[in-house]
Structure 1
Amino acid sequence: MERRFSERHGLVPVRTVVQIESMDDALRTQLWNVTYAYFFEPEYAVSPGFTEFYAIWTALMGRDWDQFPGGGVDREIKNWIKKREWYEVYDLLEELVRVGKRLSLGMVDVFNNVLEMYKAGYRLLNEQVVPIADSPELSEIEGALAAGSKPVAHHLETALNLLADREKPDYPNSIKESISAVEAFLVPITGKNTLGAALGQLKKTDNFAHPALLDAWSKLYGWTSDENGIRHGGVAVPTERITQVLARYMLISCSAFINLMTAEQAAGRLSS
């Protein structure tokens, strides 16, 4: 059987880029690996007494105290991470961090590095799992992909793939593609050959009711497109400061702007 288009071109479903209501096997595996290293592998970590897991066993897992498995607690923890619902895994993660804090294991940064690497929409903060992305944000990307022309969709898909690549993510080029998607949307409408000129043309018309927003986007375009900007590979923005968070923000923001422009176009307020 031939591979589908999405498989041939490596296109990634939007909601696998940021895992907000799911947890794939790769993320589960790495969360277990960190848990094992800190709690159950004496060669690499301080192994706690089993009493540290009584609260997890009775309160979180709802098990009988007299059935506490002793030496098999690692298997129970692993099964929970591997097989339970995604939100139950995060419940456990919070409890593990609290246990780790009492034992001075210092594992929060390691867990957060795994959550970032595997595109989880959550991070650990003050012993709690907190969201860093939500469904409405991802819906903006899906809406822009559906509403845009082929060139617009191409740039958004490329930005998405560059952001989603777990082995070699390319955040600067993801941002370039996100901005290029906005450019691909507006240039044909205004007849101008760059996004900066297209935004300037829109500001001259009386139809579009948000000139301050256009000013803001002109500044954003300038940040990415001047001679030292992101789109030209300059040095004004150090590569190490172009993070996953920034690239995701730009993808969502550009998608939302395209959706706004689509609505304005449908209402007859977007023309040169």
Structure 2
Amino acid sequence: MVREHIREHIDWQIDESILQAIWMVHYEERLDELGHSSKAVARMKDDVVSGDWLAVLEVVESFVNQLDHPKTRTIRTQALDLFNLAFVRYLVGFRFVGTELVSVTDKEEIEQIAGALEATSGTTSRTHLDRALALLADKREPIYAKVISEAVGAVESEVRLLTGKNDLADGLKQLEAKGYAIHPALRGAWTKLYGYTSDAGGIRHALIRDDEVDEALAVYFLVSCSAFINLLRKVSASDRT
């Protein structure tokens, strides 16, 4: 049923240049071999109807990402909402977060990641979050250790931006010095979590093999780091008022 839902929305009337972009970027085909744009639509439909589940998800993701143009961004917003509703209805274990299709399905987790993306727009923290999402969204060759590295890098950048401190522990102390009370258990947990990824054998030093980190742990770190960034933003905002 989800395939039928997706196939229906591929029939949206969109600019021919979008279909040409999908033909060249997603399928890596020559533009002079496309002919009529209906050939690209037929190729997409064939993937949705007959392809494996990875091919279906990849064509959906490519379709949405190629709508990043001024006259199609409204359609893209609608597409993101409709596809997410279809994934919920048909119990598909993926959701769009931003424009990346990732295996995060919990509403609160999605909201934490989306909130962090919005709050950090235009910063180095956002760059790290975007990379973490892109790595998590790679369904054929995911590198989960790098997802964690980028997620922690986002927190590190945020602490540096908001407190001027390069080290997380020093940054938390700086927040406390400004009058924000951080429970010792929370401070200790975050310091230890950061230490886990930063010590001599940690993920940030690339000495932990990717096969020692699974998807669940990568998602946990991305959500946890996003939530912490949201907390830091709220603390910073309250400090300015």
* TMscore range, shorter length: 0.5 to 0.7
CA shift, 1:152, in A, is 1.1
Native 8 Å contact 1:158 1:174 kept in 2: yes
2:119 aligns to what?
147
Task: Give the Cα separation in 2 of the matches to 1:86 and 1:175.
Answer: 25
Q: 1:86 to 1:223 in 2, by over 3 A?
A: closer
Q: Percent identity?
A: 39
Which one of 204, 207, 219 corresponds to residue 234 of structure 1? Answer: 207
2:236 aligns to what?
265
1:243 aligns to what?
214
3-state SS in 1 of match to 2:140: coil
Native 8 Å contact 1:151 1:181 kept in 2: yes
Which one of 130, 145, 150 corresponds to residue 157 of structure 1? Answer: 130
3-state SS in 1 of match to 2:180: coil
**AA in 1 matched with 2:141:** K
261-270 vs 185-194, greater mean Cα deviation: 261-270
Q: Which of the pair has more CA radius of gyration?
A: 1
The runs of 5 or more residues in structure 2 that have no matched partner are: 1-15, 27-46, 54-85, 96-102
Task: Give the Cα separation in 2 of the matches to 1:155 and 1:196.
Answer: 20
Q: 1:27 to 1:184 in 2, by over 3 A?
A: farther
Q: 1:223 to 1:184 in 2, by over 3 A?
A: same
**AA in 1 matched with 2:168:** L
1:69 aligns to what?
none
CA shift, 1:132, in A, is 7.3
Superposition misfits of 4+ residues, deviation over 4 angstroms: 25-29, 85-90
Task: Give the Cα separation in 1 of the matches to 2:192 and 2:49.
Answer: 37
Counterpart mapping for 1:25-40 below 5 A: 29-30=51-52
CA shift, 1:268, in A, is 1.3
Which one of 167, 171, 175 corresponds to residue 198 of structure 1? Answer: 171
Task: Give the Cα separation in 2 of the matches to 1:219 and 1:28.
Answer: 48
**AA in 1 matched with 2:194:** Y
Residue 120 (str. 1) matches residue 94 (str. 2)? yes
Task: Give the Cα separation in 2 of the matches to 1:28 and 1:265.
Answer: 51
Task: Give the Cα separation in 2 of the matches to 1:29 and 1:256.
Answer: 36
Task: Give the Cα separation in 1 of the matches to 2:50 and 2:216.
Answer: 21
**AA in 2 matched with 1:154:** T
1:221 aligns to what?
194
Task: Give the Cα separation in 2 of the matches to 1:88 and 1:152.
Answer: 33
Name the structure with the higher helix share.
2
CA shift, 1:194, in A, is 2.6
Residue 134 (str. 1) matches residue 102 (str. 2)? no
Residue 189 (str. 1) matches residue 197 (str. 2)? no
CA shift, 1:210, in A, is 3.1
Which one of 138, 144, 148 corresponds to residue 175 of structure 1? Answer: 148
Task: Give the Cα separation in 1 of the matches to 2:224 and 2:146.
Answer: 16
RMSD: 3.5
The runs of 5 or more residues in structure 1 that have no matched partner are: 11-24, 32-84, 91-114, 122-130
Counterpart mapping for 1:3-14 below 5 A: none
1:82 aligns to what?
none
Task: Give the Cα separation in 2 of the matches to 1:88 and 1:159.
Answer: 27
Q: 1:251 to 1:86 in 2, by over 3 A?
A: closer
Q: 1:206 to 1:86 in 2, by over 3 A?
A: closer
3-state SS in 1 of match to 2:200: coil
**AA in 2 matched with 1:191:** G
CA shift, 1:198, in A, is 1.9
Q: 1:243 to 1:26 in 2, by over 3 A?
A: farther
Task: Give the Cα separation in 2 of the matches to 1:212 and 1:147.
Answer: 26
CA shift, 1:27, in A, is 10
TM-score (norm 2): 0.57
Which one of 139, 145, 150 corresponds to residue 166 of structure 1? Answer: 139
**AA in 2 matched with 1:172:** A
CA shift, 1:262, in A, is 1.1
CA shift, 1:87, in A, is 5.7
CA shift, 1:30, in A, is 3.3
